[in-house]
Amino acid sequence: MKKDRKVVLVGTGFVGMSMAYSFLTSGGVDELVLIDVDKEKAIGEAMDLQHGLPYARNKMIIKAGDYSECSDAEIVVITAGTAQKPGQSRLDMTAINAKIMKSIVSEIMKSGFDGVLLVASNPVDLMTYVAWKTSGLPQNRVLGSGTILDTARLRYLMSEYLNVSTNNIHAYLMGEHGDSSFVPWTHAYIGSKSLLEIIDEKGHDLNDLNDIYHQVQQAAYEIIDRKKATYYGIGLALNRLVLAILNDEHIIMT
């Protein structure tokens, strides 16, 4: 175990900075280093976060840096890559983001990094594979954000539909983070009771579940059409994943 809970973020766009900001309120990280191809932006983002430290949950070092900072980091989070544009699928970004991912991971590994890589660049499943093959790290130390955001979207919509707390909904979106994902409804529960039993008892139409899944599947496209990018939800999801890794917790909602 390393002395400090040090996290390096590569990519200071909306997603990365949503995660970075969340650590001010959640705590759990001792040091956060920001890396970006635009070094001045990384410095500016670090300064902006530093000025919020008097109101943060715990003492934390925040700074801009370079890839040498990865040498003693516990986790490196990669959010860098070209952004998804309106009308574009995640797979459309594969070629250019694969080149970016190979370059980033090569630089990370040159530092002597020996921690956990967490990838959130799209298409995330393919980019996680590229990161793993490029890094040479064991499979269990190269993780992708997967369907953690899709699952959160599902639970939110289910909570609205059934008027229950999201904390009581135990349902998962599985498969690829993309258009081929699916929900195993027979393994979905509200508290300890089967969701399908509750749907039957309340006399709801099972087709409503297909409508909810479709809303989850299309959520990113709708948000991007309306505000050009999605970042708050995935930023908080990455926060949860980072803290779970640092605390050696079982990672849920993936």
Q: What is the pLDDT of residue 153?
A: 97
Q: What is the pLDDT of residue 148?
A: 95
User: What is the Cα–Cα distance from 18 to 23, expressed in whole angstroms?
Assistant: 9
Domains and CATH numbers, the chain: 6-146+228-246 (3.40.50.720), 148-227 (3.90.110.10)
What confidence tens digit (pLDDT) does each residue in 162-195 have?
A: 999 999 999 999 998 877 889 999 999 999 999 9
Q: What is the pLDDT of residue 253?
A: 46
Q: DSSP for the chain, please give it.
A: --SS-EEEEE--SHHHHHHHHHHHHH---SEEEEE-SSHHHHHHHHHHHHTTGGGSSS--EEEE--GGGGGG-SEEEE--SPPPPTT--GGGGHHHHHHHHHHHHHHHHHTT--SEEEE-PSSHHHHHHHHHHHH---GGGEEE-TTHHHHHHHHHHHHHHHT--GGGEE---BS-SSTT-B--GGG-EETTEEHHHHHHHHT--THHHHHHHHHHHHHHHHHHHHHS---HHHHHHHHHHHHHHHTTPPP---
Q: What is the pLDDT of residue 1?
A: 41
pTM: 0.92
The residues that are catalytic are 177
Q: What are phi and psi of 75, to 5 degrees?
A: -140, 135
Q: Report residues of the chain scoring pLDDT below 50.
A: 1-2, 253-254
